[in-house]
Amino acid sequence: MSITCRDAMREAIRQALIADDRVFMMGEDIGAYGGCFAVSKGLLAEFGPDRIRDTPLSESAFVGAGVGAAMAGMRPIVEIMTVNFSLLALDQILNNAATLRHMSGGQIGVPLVIRMTTGGGRQLAAQHSHSLEGWYAHIPGIKVLVPATVDDFRHMLQPALDDPDPVLIFEHALLYNAEGELSDGPSPPIDKAVVRRAGKDITLITYGGSLAKTVQAAELLAAEGIEADVIDLRSLRPLDDATYMASVRRTHRAVIVDEGWRSGSISAELSARITEGAFYELDAPVGRVCSAEVPMPYAKHLEEAALPSTSSIVAAAREAMAEDA
């Protein structure tokens, strides 16, 4: 069945609400308005205001309320409109949600799911367009998920709700309208990477909104006789080292595609891990394709220039292949 990522996530939320009375959702404009990206459209009419709760514009307040509700035994789904606004709740996420199990000697868990939109490409300028999921992957005590397919939008939520600790789900805004077929089989565990395209010459590692560009780049490279392994990380914390490392050991070359900034990014972490764990397997330096280190521009042509593109991924792969063994 073909479905959009938006509808897949809505159905995931709907099924979670049906299955467990402890589950409720809250965030800005998620009720009558249906959510800024229409993910929660229709849920208020079906489940009522006790289960679909509109909140004031105070990320610190409603994320804090979600932390408290989770501590009290509920299973809240908190929606933050965009990742940039999540910084207003960073104290609640870092100093409370991520640390309470450790600071209580294991007595207090925070089974909280926080969903937020990430990524550029929509001409919404610098306060609505950044990719900060790599920042959150730095924090122990939480899981960081980055769905890129309709299957993952549909099936990552329930395991996240079942987790006894906080889980953050970063949904790239350009994926909401993307369509795909829901598979019939079971989904991989949420902390496992997946090989989306098999190849023998180079490993392309990516996640979320950059997956489609990376697969497209792999197809263009194939026309030149370069077969690329495309790894979809799916989880940034924990990282599935075994899957991408096995690919790099087989292809001996790697390029990481990350919409975050290059400095201090998840791509920097992956590059370090590959260098530490597979240095003598590499036939070329690890390449990285990241966003330009500027606040995201508003003008369309500048925004496009700032973001990773299919052509920049192809160029990085060609450069890696040109290196002498």
Residues noted as catalytic: 59, 128
Residues with Cβ within 8 Å of residue 95, at least 6 apart in sequence: none
Q: Are 317 and 214 in contact (CB under 8 A)?
A: no
Q: Which residues of 206-245 are buried (b: 16+ CB within 10 A; e: fewer)?
A: bbbbbbbbbbbbbeebeeeebebbbbbbbbbbebbeebbb
Q: Which DSSP symbol is given to 20?
A: -
Strand bridging mode 235-237 / 287-291: unpaired
Packing angle, helices 266-278 and 241-251, rounded to 10: 60
Provide the β-strand partners of residue 27. Answer: 54, 79
Provide the β-strand partners of residue 143. Answer: 167
Q: Are 258 and 209 in contact (CB under 8 A)?
A: no
Cα distance between residue 227 and residue 233, in whole Å: 19
